[in-house]
Structure formats: structure tokens, C-alpha cells
Amino acid sequence: MVFMGSEKYSEENDFDAFIKKRGGSDNASTECELTTFYFEIQEKYLLSALDRFAQFFIKPLMKKDAITREREAVESEFQMALPSDFCRKEQLFSSFARSNHPATKFCWGNLVTLRDNVTDKKLYEELHKFKERHYSAHRMKLAIQARLPLDVLEDYVTQCFANVPNNGLPADDFTLFKGSNSFDTPSFRKIYKIKPIKDICQVELTWSMPPLHDLYKSKPHQYISWIIGYEGKGSLISYLRRKMWCLGIFSGNEESGFEHSSMYALFNLSLMLTEQGHKHLPEVLNAIFSFINLMRKEGPQKRIYDEIHQIKETNFRFTDESPPAEYVEDLCESMHYYPPRDYITGSGLYFEYNPEAIQICLNYLTPDDVNIIIFDKKFNDEDFDKVEPWFKTKYTDMEIPQEWIECWRTIEPFSEFHLPLPNMFITDDFNLISMPANISKYPTKIYTDEITEIWYRPDPKFGLPECYMYFYIISPMAVCSLKGAALMDLFIAILKQLLVESLYPATVAELNHDIHANDKGIMLKVNGFNQKLPLLLMTIAKCIADIPTLITEEFFEVMKQEEIKAYYNNFVKPKKLVRLSILMFIHWMATDKHAAIHNVQFPEFQNFVSHFTDHVYIQSLVQGI
């Protein structure tokens, strides 16, 4: 509402029009405990834009007629969120909190809450009360980024924001709701089955913890997430992938307002299951608690913490500058949580090793206090006996069998499990390679033969120990037919899965790779610190060469079903489908590939991958130091 005019600039949406006409952009976001406003514009218009911006918080109009129009926009946003499985789950999850806890509130707004359940007069009054109570200078933070001198920026801020009212009132006191007991309810400690919108099969385990903001220097929950979510050798996901039960993993905390608040924190472990994984769900859950018991038995490891610290320090040292609007938004939020010296680094760096805090967080990951949610598109509607009132999510719940809990308490670590080994991809040499005196303005072809060409250009501008390598592996088999295109997609999906265990350590060490099917074959991109980049490239090349011997029929069938799901989920993205059909040299629609891939058999796929490299031509571009 404050966007829609102020006493000084009374024309409705004056600010938005001012920004847009000058090539800028603006937006705002509302979290559970923070509301953030931001904009970007050319520097010559900054003072005028800031003056208009400040009036949001000094004397906004918030007229009655504008309120009735804006609630339609809120309803529109709610309707757009209805098909989101994430939003649907989050709203259901809110009902698991203690009675009268702030987390139980409806996280959105719609016409029911803003029109049907309240009069226009009451809505107008409550909106202005809310503004007077909470929009106070002492509870606001401001961040500005521009190339202007600091004293000029300080003068701008003083001119524009000096009159923001300060009521001196404390924020609402939620002390009563703080701690791990926020979700200490029988409804939390259950198994829930939900029918998702997307074609996914997923199990999600969640534990509640006390708030973690004060532990930002040691980040114990992120250390635990790093290990549980590790995808290299000896990891939980590596074991489950070998069993063909699971293909993807996420662990930790989204750092969103709902999962990471001043009252509590949620620790989440999500696994993308295969059909076989769902059938073996008890064994999957056994593996999870076996791995957690391994972590508890081994205890915090300083060697692993030091690796994480080293990687994060290196990332910060060589990070690219963020887009200005994104940077000031993040900085402004950090100012609410950290002391001034840590505004910039507080969210990203690891400052101190705190094994006691790590152990305390680990102790919350118990079988007795876990929430389990299972998503599966194949659930039948008759399986559900409950409906979440806001998003109309169909679900059912059941008690966690006591024998499962007893098993999880005492289960020993599997022999296949071990903590992450030392990471051989971590860069420790950042020296620059000497360059020739005369450097060509454009890449130069430095090698060619009958199957490849390599183009290279040193990078004298930035002086960073980084390199970028692009490889275009062109094959006639990639575009020979509709089925060939489907086989190509399946080939890439399988290749990516085969590479995960070997390349996950490289990924966390900021050696990046991207492999995707193109209209003529495979596009491979690698980049990162140059010391260990050849090791990354050789690992990928060896896997491509060996792939015919690495695939089993069982693995093929699992990946085929996952690719069918991926095609199905693309049906609901018409903008992407239309864009690709225009831009791609040869483009087969996802609907057609969805039909074609059903008929692909294992021998046919084996033949495809065995002969894919028979007639390839590789174009390469390397740039860096």
C-alpha cells in the first residue's frame, strides 16, 4: 500500500512510474518477520528517487479506494501460489506448531481474509494502526550502493530520511514462543502423506530447534547440513543411489523467515525418491538414522570444519560483485542480525569452531522428535481424509510406528558410511601464470585435427587465477530423429548422475561444471580456479568414455522413469516451451519426447551411447590465466 502514493507525491503509483520511466526497477517482499523494499535507478536520478522512496515511511496515503484495489493484487499473488508444492507444504506445516504460536497464522493474504472476514472500515483502520505501530525509524535499516562519494550519499540520506517517524516502541515480544518447543506437539511427530501438484516422489524429515541467529559465527546447523547433504563417497545419498532408491538430496535450513526465525529454527532433510525408493521407505529411513548415528558417534570434526572455512574464505576473497539491488537487499537484512563489523560477512563466513554447539544441534536430530512428510503424485485421492483449509491440499496422517522409533534409536552406522574424506579439489595455489607480451584481442586457434579444434585467449584484464573452458561435442546422432533427441536427454541425465559422487567435492570447492544437451550434441562447460581444473575435466572425460560399461539395466529403467517425470513437469511451463521452439536450431517438443521415450529399451540405449562418440567433432574455447 505504501507504494501507492504519499502526501508529498500523491499521484497513485507515482514512485513506480518515476522509476520505470528512467530505466529502473523496484519491488518489495514480505517475510514472516521482515519486510524489504528496494529499487535501482541511474545515479543521476538517485536523490529524487530516494525522496519519493522515503515518503513511503513518512506520510503514506493508504487511501480506502486504493486498499480495495490492492487486495485484488494480493489475491492474484495467492492464486499464483496455489499450485506451488512448496507453499502448500509450508502452510500445512504451520498447523503443526503449538496452539496460538505465531507460526500457525495464515502466511498469505487473500479475499477471504481481506474482504470477506473484515469490513472495509476495519481493514482501513487496522492497516493504519499497523503502520503506526511497526514502521518506526528505530526498527528500520537502510543500505544504499552507488559510485557517488560517501559524504554525498550521507547527505542524501539525511535530506530524505530525517523525518521518518520514531515511536520508540519495542517490537512485539515473542519470548514466550522461543525455543525448541515451538513445534512440541503430537501433530508434529507424525507421518503425513500429501498429493503434490508436480509429478514427484519425495520424503522430507524435519526437526525443530531453538533459534540459531546468535550462532552465526560457528553456524553449527550448516556444518551438519554440509555432512548430511554431502554427495561424495561414503555419503548417505551415495548409498541410496547405489540401491536405486533415491536420486537427489537437500539438507539444512532454507534461511527463510518461516524456517529460520527469532523463535525457532527448522532443520530439513529432503530426498527425491524413485518408485523403488518409495517401496523401500522403511529401509531409506533406516539409512538416514544410521548416518545420523554415525555423525553422533564420530562427533564434530575440526578437519571438516576447517575445509568448509577455507572454501568459504576463498569464495569471499574471489567473489564476483553481486547485482546492486540484490546486494543492498541482502545487506539490509544482515543489518538486523549481525553487529556492524559482520554486516558483509556474517551470513557467509565461518568465524569460529564450536564443537559444543554442533553437538547440541546434532542432539535435536532424534527419532522421537521427527516430522515426516511423503509426497507422491501416484497417491490415490481415496487415500486422503483431510484437506488443508487455505490451499486445499489433500493429505492424511498416521503415527510413526513405535518399532521404527526403537530401531532408529539404536541402529548402528552402515559399513558403507563414512564422513567426507579430505577434498582433493580444494585450491591452495592462487599464483598467476605468466602471459605473453602481446595478447590477441580475439581467441586464437592453437590446435586442430580431424575431430577437434581448440581456441584460446589469455585474460589480461582481471588478473584472477581462474579459467573457463567450453566444449561443444557435436554428433549426428543427437539430431537424427525425435527418438534420438529423447535418447540424448536420457544420456545427459544418466551422465550427470554417474558424475555426482566423483564431482561433488569439486562442486563444493567452487569448481563448476555444466553439461546439457544442445541441438547438435553435448555442451560441456567447466570453470573455476585453474590449479585443479584439469583434474575436474579429466574426471568428466573419463566418465563419458566409460559410460557404456557403467550403466546397468536397472539404473537405466530408474533414470528413464525420472526423465518421463521431467518431461511431464515441463508441460506446465508454456513460456519455456515456446521460447526454446523459437531459439533452438532443431527443437523437439517435450510432449513429443515424452511419448517417444516410453518406447526406448535398454539395448537400444546401449547402442546409442556406445556409438555416440564414433563421429563426433569437438569445438573448444579456453579463456583465462
Close Cβ partners of 57 (under 8 Å, ≥ 6 residues apart): 2, 135, 137, 140, 161, 164, 165
- pLDDT for 494-538, tens place per residue? 999 999 999 999 999 999 999 998 878 899 999 999 999 999 999
- pLDDT for 245-300, tens place per residue? 999 999 998 778 899 999 999 999 999 999 999 999 999 999 999 999 999 999 99
Superfamily of domain 182-306+352-410: Metalloenzyme, LuxS/M16 peptidase-like (3.30.830.10)
From the list 198, 557, 241, 250, the residue with the least C-alpha distance to 376 is: 198
Q: Which has the minimum average pLDDT: 166-170, 235-239, 562-566, 605-609?
A: 562-566
Residue 600: all three cell numbers together: 526406448
Q: Which has the minimum average pLDDT: 33-37, 87-91, 187-191, 589-593?
A: 589-593
Question: In terms of residues, how long is the chain?
Answer: 625
- pLDDT for 294-316, tens place per residue? 999 999 999 999 999 999 999 99
Residue 609: all three cell numbers together: 551411447
Q: How far is CA 109 from CA 118, 132, 266, in A?
A: 12, 20, 23
Fold match between domain 14-162 and domain 444-624: yes
Cα 469 from chain centroid (whole Å): 25
Q: Domain ranges in the chain?
A: 14-162, 182-306+352-410, 444-624
| C-alpha–C-alpha distance, residues 536 and 505, integer Å | 10
| C-alpha–C-alpha distance, residues 537 and 618, integer Å | 14
| C-alpha–C-alpha distance, residues 405 and 283, integer Å | 13
DSSP SS3 for 108? coil
Residue 469: all three cell numbers together: 573452458
- pLDDT for 212-228, tens place per residue? 999 999 999 999 999 99
Which residues is 363 bridged to in the sheet?
none
Alpha helical stretches, state H, 337-395: 355-363
Strands 394-399 and 190-194: antiparallel
Asked whether residue 33 carries a pLDDT value surpassing 60, the answer given is: yes
| 539, 545, 548, 550 alpha-carbon torsion, rounded to 10° | -20
What values do phi and psi take at 194, rounded to 5? -130, 140
Please measure the distance between the N-terminal and C-terminal CA atoms of the chain and give it in whole angstroms: 51
> Residue 438's pLDDT band (boundaries 50, 70, 90)?
confident
From the list 573, 604, 605, the residue with the least C-alpha distance to 591 is: 573
DSSP SS3 for 125? helix
- pLDDT for 155-183, tens place per residue? 999 999 999 999 999 999 998 898 778 99
Could you tell me if 107 and 91 are in contact, meaning their C-beta atoms sit under 8 angstroms apart? yes
Could you tell me if 513 and 536 are in contact, meaning their C-beta atoms sit under 8 angstroms apart? yes
* Cα dihedral 279, 284, 286, 287 sign: positive
pLDDT of residue 242: 94
| C-alpha–C-alpha distance, residues 54 and 57, integer Å | 6
Which residues is 522 bridged to in the sheet?
473, 517
Strands 394-399 and 201-209: unpaired
Alpha helical stretches, state H, 260-388: 275-279, 281-298, 302-318, 324-334, 355-363
| C-alpha–C-alpha distance, residues 38 and 16, integer Å | 11
Alpha helical stretches, state H, 102-191: 111, 120-134, 150-161
Close Cβ partners of 485 (under 8 Å, ≥ 6 residues apart): 478, 479, 517, 586, 588, 593, 596
Could you tell me what percent of the chain has a pLDDT over 90? 82
Which residues is 513 bridged to in the sheet?
526
| C-alpha–C-alpha distance, residues 319 and 556, integer Å | 39
Superfamily of domain 444-624: Metalloenzyme, LuxS/M16 peptidase-like (3.30.830.10)
- pLDDT for 366-405, tens place per residue? 999 999 999 999 999 888 999 999 999 999 999 999 999 9
Phi-psi region of 94 (alpha: psi -120 to 50; beta: other; left: phi over 0): alpha
Residue 139: all three cell numbers together: 526498527
From the list 145, 140, 142, 157, the residue with the least C-alpha distance to 325 is: 145
From the list 63, 74, 56, the residue with the least C-alpha distance to 18 is: 56
| C-alpha–C-alpha distance, residues 215 and 357, integer Å | 8
Domain 14-162 has CATH 2.160.20.60: no
Asked whether residue 321 carries a pLDDT value surpassing 80, the answer given is: yes
- pLDDT for 120-158, tens place per residue? 999 999 999 999 999 999 999 999 999 999 999 999 999
pLDDT of residue 539: 96
Asked whether residue 583 carries a pLDDT value surpassing 70, the answer given is: no
Please report, as a single letter, which amino acid is at residue 63. K
> Residue 576's pLDDT band (boundaries 50, 70, 90)?
low
pLDDT of residue 580: 58
Helices and strands, counts by H and E, the chain: 21, 15
A 10 A CB-CB count for 567 gives 21
Residue 450: all three cell numbers together: 580431424
